Amino acid sequence: MTRKRPNILFLMADQMAASALPLYGHGVVRAPNLTALGEGGVVFDSAYSNSPLCAPSRFTMMAGRLPSAIGAYDNAADFPADAPTFAHYLRLAGYRTTLAGKMHFCGPDQLHGFEERLTTDIYPADYGWTPDWERPEARPSWYHNMLSVVQAGPCFRSNQLDFDDEVAFAAKRHLFDIARGTDERPFCMVVSFTHPHDPYAILPEYWERYDDAEIDLPAVDIAPEDQDPHSRRLRHVSDMDRYPLTEAQIRRARRAYYGSISYVDDQIGMLLATLRQTGMADDTIIVFTGDHGDMLGERGLWYKMSWFEGSARVPLIVHAPRQFAPRRVGESVSLIDLLPTLAEIAGDGKAPDYAAPLDGRSLLPHLSGNGGHDEVFGEYLGEGAIAPLLMIRRERFKYVCSAPDPDQLFDLSADPRERVNLAGDPEHRDVIENFRAEAARRWDTDRLRQEVIASQRRRHLVAASLMAGAHTSWDFQPRRDAGRQYMRNHLDLDDLERRSRFPVALSPDDVGAAAE
């Protein structure tokens, strides 16, 4: 008898710094559901985004390829419809693929292999957020600014709460729909929340789970004039110098961020409870991750867009105790490794015939405790940069380079907070020269910069033209047939009520037989 392939529930949080979770050692944040998930699963201690910005991180994760391979440059980059994603591969393998929540798809294709999409996205699907590397002095008005920090605090309602409440409800109902339905295919459902992404505002009940006195301040404070060139550009693009921040404001922003983590944790707890209620928990692999982190004031920086640990490192948990014994993995891996991992899980450990070359490598050896790689490559090509900002993470070291800037080399074993740049240290001359030579072989940075600029020029023109005259939106429109929801006169009432319950109620014939 063929063993039923596992369901996959893929949970994602936006701008979730690994270091802010208790599972990774944070002493203040409360996230009991994620902690329990990690204690029963495989926890990756050194997982990274391949491009620390929302859209490119997600596109590379979905496609298993680096940004330069698929044009995933920034938050308004077109995600090519012919780029195979893990949703395509799983769907071909017989999975029912569903997306609820944020994935920041840009361009006319808003499905990218998902058979169903339960909600629209919180972010726009057009090219309006295209950066301009040819005018680095011009700060985009649509981008982050420090009002997110200055205005941090509790609220009863926000744009993001509206969205995530809808995502959680839609995902929960869909799990029950699967349990009540007749589709026997295994499912892969991605549920992607926008919290704890800024602005830093959260419901009072989550705000009050914390106290100002317990909120930790940033551990590393670097004055703007002492920062590296890319960090200074990030300060400009996010207008970080407009408002001098007080300790109280920093604590309030971090307190709201921690409260938002607790909010996400509760939504995840609800979905895990639904899996148990539907009897699907034992047959479902749960993956949890984020697209990038948040600096939260460390080094005087906020948000993401850099290769520092707070920005680039993400949580990654794979919970499948029937398949993989709980353990922690210290080797460095990245989000592009998830496509081959999920494809092999769907294929009972066998890789499909990939239609495009992959940059990611399967995590199955890590999950089973049989070795695995220890290497990450990253490309940041978005706002705040003026040329490709590249990263290699291997064993103890992280190497970062960009043509206009001095190189950076950090020994994360000895210096986890990245206080000391070893690029000019004579004792590490061989290490830095080897990394430089490797980067030169791997990337043609002049060509890549010109490709990014050419894409930006095209998208600026298209974006401007599509705003002239009648506007046609690319934003996903969820389809709901109200004629088949709830009570309708063309549906048999008794049958509808019986099938809508879970567990499904007895049919009239079964009721009669039971009475006899």
Positions annotated as catalytic residues are 54, 104
For residue 201, the surrounding DSSP H or E stretch is strand 201-202
CA within 13 Å, CB half, 400: 27
For residue 442, the surrounding DSSP H or E stretch is helix 429-442
End-to-end CA distance of the chain: 36
Sequence-ordered strand ranges (E) for 268-402: 284-290, 313-314, 316-319, 327-334, 375-380, 389-394, 397-401
- Give the closest residue to 295 by CA, choosing from 202, 230, 243, 213: 230
Contact 397, 431 (CB under 8 A): yes
CA 319, 321, 323, 329 dihedral sign is positive
Number of CB atoms found within 10 A of residue 269's CB: 16
Cross-strand pairs, 99: 117, 190
Helical residues (DSSP H) of 93-182, grouped into ranges: 147-150, 159-180
Q: What are phi and psi of 165, to 5 degrees?
A: -60, -40
Contact 11, 286 (CB under 8 A): yes
Q: How far apart are CA 236 and CA 255, in angstroms?
A: 25
